[in-house]
Amino acid sequence: MGKLAVYKYAAAMFLSIQIVVSILTLVGLFGGNVTPVGNTARAMSVYILPVLIAANLLLLIYWLIRRKWLLALIPVVSVACCIPYIGTLYQLRFDDPKDDTRPGLKIASYNVAMFGRETSGFMAQDILAEMRRQKVDVLCIQEYNEISGDKKNSESYKEYFPYMQVGRSDMVIFSRYPITGNKTILFEETNNSAMWVDINFKGKALRIFNVHLETTGINRTLHSAGKMMMQHHDIDSNRLINALVGNYMMGMMFRSGQAITIANEKRESDKPIILCGDFNDVPYSFVYNTVKGDLVDGFKECGAGWMYTYRGMKKQPVRIDYIFHDEQLKGISYYKTELTYSDHFPIFMKLSL
């Protein structure tokens, strides 16, 4: 009787865990459909989806070992519901995602982290060399620094990218095709911004957005905590956790408002859109869903393998940089290269019209 009671208790406990995990998984999948303002917990549930998927897989293994076939269907269904989400992080394709021999427009997006604030111009020159190698037609840069950038390399940049438009001081778009219009989009209460340019690509008018949304604030908080520890040799862990959560929630609120601003700006376009940049947010979040709208996620369309673009968190790769495009356009290739000049990787996409 004692052993049977233990088995029953364990089965009830694992079933309870399974129900909770499955409910949280479904909440996370739809958490990005609500604004974080007034729905913080639900909106943040999307950030733990990878953990929840892993938990479902572990529970599936448990039910299979116990030969509880009906109960094993619960994690199977939960993970199956996550397939569209998983597709924003991983794509199983056997063709080369860098194969862009077909004609089209090649666009790149890169948060260059102010070129490390180095003043020799070497870093900017090496990035330009990479863009030449990749045969990029339009380059969208976030966290730009003109002192380290084109001011030090003006002739070589102009030689390859004859057209250039600066938004706010840390936003720029370089183009090999004529820029016929532009707009800078400023966000309230933050230093982040966005911009768009209209280009004439072989007689076809396109509108290209370059977006840099509010940061998470985590690195800034950890940096401040490190300085405090250096000065006082001690720090309250509860205060640190509260500061991290508070800063992240504040950044999430700002990004949600900025995403709505971008979505409204998109609706006013009478031209096919290509939208790229550093969103500082993960796939399926409110920011991702709002900015993407009815656009196509380039990675889901023609990327391959695991896609992560932020290299600042060791062993915790995160995808926060994106290229979306209008349904009128067709993706040919999508990939990143592992340049180490920034805490981000540059991403590339080629599109046919």
Beta strand ranges found along 67-216 (DSSP E): 90-91, 105-111, 138-142, 163-166, 171-175, 179-186, 193-201, 204-212
Report how far residue 92's alpha carbon sits from residue 69's, in angstroms, rounded to the nearest whole number: 28
Q: Which of 212, 237, 7 is nearest to 113 (CA)?
A: 212
Q: Mean pLDDT throughout 336-348?
A: 92
pLDDT tens-digit map of 263-306: 999 999 999 999 999 999 999 999 999 999 999 999 999 999 99
- Residue 323, pLDDT > 50, answer yes
How does pLDDT run across 216-243, given as a tens digit for each residue? 755 554 444 444 445 555 555 666 566 5
Instruction: Give the chain's end-to-end CA distance (angstroms, integer).
Output: 72
Mean pLDDT of all residues in the chain?
87
Mean pLDDT, to the nearest integer, of 95-114? 89
- Radius of gyration of the chain measured on its C-alpha atoms: 23
Here the tokens at position 153 are 């390399």
pLDDT band, very low/low/confident/very high, at 171 (cuts 50, 70, 90): very high
pLDDT higher at 155 or 168:
168
